[in-house]
Homo-oligomer: A and B are copies of this chain.
Amino acid sequence: MATETVYAELTAALKRVHALGTLVELLGWDEQVNLPEGAAEQRAGQQAALAEALHAAASDAKIGGWLATLEADATLSDDQRAVVKNARRDYDHATRLPAEFVRDKAAQSSRGYHAWARARAADDFAGYAPVLRKNLEFAKREAGYLGWGGREYDYMIDQHDPGMTAAVIERLFGELKAGLVPLVREIAAARVKPRTDALRGFSPEGQRVFLREVTERLGFDYQRGRIDVSLHPFCSGTGSDVRMTTRFKEQEPLDSLFSAIHETGHGLYEQGLVAEHLGTALGVHAGMAVHESQSRLWENQVARSRGFWQCFEPRLRELFPAQTAAVSTDELYLAINAVEPTLIRVDADEVTYNLHIILRFELEKKLFTGELAVDGLPAAWRTAAQALLGLTPANDRVGVLQDVHWSGGSFGYFPSYCLGNMLAAQLWYRALALRPALEDDFARGDFRWLLNWLRENVHAQGRRFDALALARRVTGEELSPRHLLRYLRERYGALYLR
């Protein structure tokens, strides 16, 4: 067969596999949003059957044959090469892991989750430690099967961020930490204290109206997506069917709003992928760091800006006159940009959040190199929390037991959050350089320039470039934490360090 024919066969197969993958996601969405309470077991059977069908499609030997043909073909275009490279990665993942290992790992992951939930409730790290050791073992075996022996932690990182390595992260996080720890100390010592408890009694109905207006104005296309309510906010789906969720807390309206804007950032990325390429490297996201850069940029750089609130503050006051009467414009803006170190990552503000990630990265890395044993984790966590956050957890529930990720074997995921913050700030200053009046756009409720720029330079690129290459290409320089440090010092310095 001619190259074009083989390539067409391959991409058609990739799209079918991808379509099945989107159904796995849809089932996950449905489970969070719609599933009747009593249907959990039946749903597990549906998921297992779909997973099996997906695996059969993804490991079809024909794909392997087409890949071998195309990899030996010197006439491929850059785009075609990117598609083949990514397909090879997925195909190896689908075919190189023994079926028995996949089954055992899934069972271990499920056991791990329950062991973690029990251990956290009982503040019993010792009861969790064996699971964690087993999860590490599984992760290392998996890396071995895929040819990453000796670079196991890099393998885990690469799963979430293709092309990223622990060495690169270590350098970036080192620089970030050096600038960030002093900034957090300065803010903590400042006399400015936000009145975060002044905003109370926001009805879900009113919040829903506000949130819909905001997300629509930012550019989320409700003809190609929707928003529902779930316990934990998330964004799923892709292309023309992107489904976000949020939750409404009457006493914490900013929580609902900013988590919805965060998910909107993810949603805009997925809606910005090129429809005809969905399912190949030209039409899937570039990795979790880039994904987080999109959610963070809209949530933080955009929606915590003065310009944004010049546009939306009047509407907020119109919808909630009584609830906002006692709060001045400056007080509102300060509450939106509240900074206060906390032990809990998911409660952390934009400034200290990064320190939580650095802490986890440093411990994960040592777990993989063997410098740190699982038993030593709680103590290491406490030491690191004190050094980074200036706080020491009173128990492991607010320390090493707080996150679910490791319980299911998800190592190497945490760094993406912080890398995303770095990339968001770097993209932000590049956008500002190209269009200095960006905040004036926002004040007029116009977010089109920014969205179009991201569409063209990030979303429509799919997986052609990894996070590092994308930063280089779009901003003209290597990914660096200095933009994030500059941004945090500018925004929060102005508020807290006057």
Q: A-side interface residues toward B, CB under 8 Å?
A: 15-17, 19-20, 22-23, 26-27, 30, 34-39, 41-43, 45-46, 48-50, 52-54, 56-57, 221-226, 239-242, 275, 278
In the complex, the answer to whether A53 meets B42 with C-beta atoms within 8 Å is no
7 pairs of residues in contact across A and B, judged by CB atoms under 8 Å? A16-B52, A19-B46, A23-B46, A23-B49, A38-B240, A39-B241, A42-B239
In the complex, the answer to whether A226 meets B53 with C-beta atoms within 8 Å is no
Residues of B within 8 A of A222 (CB): 36
A236 to chain B, nearest CB (A): 12
The A interface is mostly helix, strand or loop, or mixed, namely helix
In the complex, the answer to whether A42 meets B226 with C-beta atoms within 8 Å is no
CA distance A17 to B41 in the complex (A): 16
Q: Given A20-B50, A26-B30, A39-B224, 8 other A-B contacts at CB below 8 A?
A: A20-B46, A22-B46, A35-B241, A36-B240, A38-B223, A39-B239, A53-B53, A56-B56
Q: Please, which residue of chain B has its CB at the minimum distance from the CB of A47?
A: B19
A20 to chain B, nearest CB (A): 5
A167 to chain B, nearest CB (A): 39
CA distance A337 to B67 in the complex (A): 67
Closest 6 A-B residue pairs measured CB to CB? A19-B49, A53-B53, A39-B241, A38-B224, A38-B223, A39-B240
Task: Given the known inter-chain contacts A20-B49, A23-B23, A56-B56, please indicate yes or no for A43 contacting B241, CB distance below 8 A.
Answer: yes
CA distance A241 to B35 in the complex (A): 7
Partner of A38, one of B26, B35, B38, B221: B221
Task: Given the known inter-chain contacts A23-B23, A224-B39, A241-B39, please indicate yes or no for A57 contacting B53, CB distance below 8 A.
Answer: yes
Partner of A42, one of B35, B41, B46, B278: B278
A15 to chain B, nearest CB (A): 7
Residues of B within 8 A of A17 (CB): 49
